Amino acid sequence: MTKLAVGAILAIALAAASSIRVSPPGAVYIDPLQYNVVGANYTKWRNSSLIGFNPTNSAPPFIQVFDPSFLDVTGPSATIREIASNPGFAFAHEAPIYVPDLNLVFFSSNGGGALGYSGWYNNSVVSMINMTEVDMALASTPGNVNIQVQTLNLSDNVQMVNGGTGPYKGDLLFVTSGRALLPPSVVRVNPSPPYNTTVILDNFLSRQFNSLNDIKILPGTDIMFFTDPAYGWLNGFRPEPMLPSQVYRFDPSTGQVRVVADQFVHPNGIAFAPNGKTAFVTDTGIFGGFLGTNQTFPATIYQFDVDPTTQSFMNRRVFAYSDSGAPDGIQLDTKGNVYAGCGDGINVWNGEGTLIGKFYLNSTTAELMFTKSGLVILEETAMYVTNIQARGMTLATW
């Protein structure tokens, strides 16, 4: 067979494969071409990114498809179902860590924000949800379920957990924002009783960090990278920042800490591509805590090359700008698609930065985590799971 013939057969096979892409129930296709020109009499202009783009006025939660390739992410039967809810308490904010062996997701409540009941005088809480219980409950009904989450009782050296990853050598790896004069830290937590903790870093050469926000391990290494915005101060639970808002690299085997990226407004979520060659840092610049919201600042995911020798973040460029709220927590799947919690739910871009779809909740969503049961979404006062086909890149370090 000639090369040309092989190519032609491949093209036909691809066309057939794409024609059998099946939309999940309730998914809405939004063809960008249909909205490129809306005319001056359009009645749905949005001058606030806090109102979502939902031109079909569909009832949330539902799946929005901006590019047919998103159906490869969702698969044919994805639904979005609530698995836990507590309307009075933002119990499900950030720091999700999935421990496959235990089939548990750990996460933290909102530190210093709405319905978080934490601040200068009060710590936030870390909880866990048992995904085996979630699976069993979901199998018994077509609707939503409300699984009891369990609060961990962590030692007082863990204050305002805001980010996490792992398992790291079998432990949960959290960053804390600190509270009042108690320092922000990187801390290992045993995911099993007695949930004992070990702080592994709480300063930069005796200077307290501002309020650590999120952490990831560079794939194939055990080197930690974390962000340090000023949100502790902006949300009223930390003193005025004494360091720039930047990204740090920490080698736990030598104790060396250094800065690998700066020039952010409020660096927030962090993630690496599965091959470890590129890094992503979200900037929630529009959200200024007591300074208010200013939409002229970034709501942006920046992409960098990870320098193979120094592991500094090089060649910064815009990867994506979110049309809704600001991208907060960020995770990648095995194919290199990029998922971030935004003002209207989870937004998904392909590796080139094209918006391909959303898990549209119509409310601010900070984080997400891949599990065996699907994608778990933390939406402050509720948690959802969507049983998509895509799988998360591995975050475990041995």
Q: Looking at beta carbons only, is 196 or 334 nearer to ligand NAG?
A: 196
Q: Is 53 in the site for ligand NAG (CB under 6 A)?
A: no
CB of 20 to ligand NAG, least distance (A): 31
User: What's CA 177's distance to the chain center, in Å?
Assistant: 17
Q: Specify the residue, 117 or 204, whose C-beta has the smaller distance to ligand NAG.
A: 117
Instruction: Establish if 57 lies at the interface with ligand NAG (CB under 6 A).
Output: yes
14 DSSP assignment: H
- Restricted to residues 118-147, the positions that interact with ligand NAG (CB under 6 A) are 119, 121-122, 130, 132-133
Q: How far is 141 from 71, CA to CA, in rounded Å?
A: 25
Task: Please count the other Cβ atoms lying within 10 Å of the Cβ belonging to residue 387.
Answer: 17
- Which residue carries 């918006």 as its tokens? 355
Where in 170-229 is the site for ligand NAG (CB under 6 A)?
A: 171, 188-190, 196-198
Hey, which residues between 338 and 367 contact ligand NAG (CB under 6 A)? 362
Supply the minimum distance, in Å, between the C-beta of residue 122 and ligand NAG.
Answer: 4
Q: Which of residues 261-320 bind ligand NAG (CB under 6 A)?
A: 294, 296
| Among 152, 212, 306, 382, contact with ligand NAG (rule: CB under 6 A) | 152
Nearer to ligand NAG, 77 or 263 (CB): 263
Percent of residues in the chain assigned helix, strand, coil, to nearest 5: 10, 35, 55
Near ligand NAG in 76-105, by CB under 6 A: 102, 104
Beta-carbon count within 10 A of 54 CB: 20
Taking the C-alpha atoms of residue 299 and residue 155, their distance in angstroms, rounded to an integer, is 35
Q: How far is the CB of 88 from ligand NAG (least distance, A)?
A: 12
Residue 148 contacts ligand NAG per CB under 6 A: no
Please give the Cα distance from 150 to 157 (Å, whole number). 20
State the amino acid at position 246 in one-letter form: Q
Q: Work out how close the CB of 361 gets to ligand NAG at its nearest, in angstroms, rounded to a whole number.
A: 9
Q: Whose Cβ is closer to ligand NAG: residue 53's or residue 204's?
A: 53
Q: Binder to ligand NAG among 29, 89, 117, 204 (CB under 6 A)?
A: 117
CB of 235 or CB of 303, closer to ligand NAG = 235
The single residue listed with the structure tokens 């979005």 is 80
Dist. CA 190–CA 365, nearest whole Å: 27
Cβ nearer to ligand NAG, comparing 54 with 303 = 54
CA distances from residue 102 to 98, 346, 372 in whole angstroms, order as listed: 9, 26, 11
Q: Which is nearer to ligand NAG, 99 or 281 (CB)?
A: 99
Contacts of 99 (CB under 8 A, 6+ apart): 105, 106, 166, 167, 172, 191
Q: Which 3 state secondary structure label does DSSP give 315? A: strand
Q: Residues 36, 43, 47, 206: which binds ligand NAG (CB under 6 A)?
A: 47
d(CA 358, CA 340): 10
Cα distance between residue 337 and residue 314, in whole Å: 21
Whichever of 191 and 269 has its CB closer to ligand NAG, that residue is: 191
Q: Name the residues that contact ligand NAG, by CB under 6 A.
A: 39, 41, 47, 54, 57, 59-60, 102, 104, 117, 119, 121-122, 130, 132-133, 150-153, 171, 188-190, 196-198, 294, 296, 362
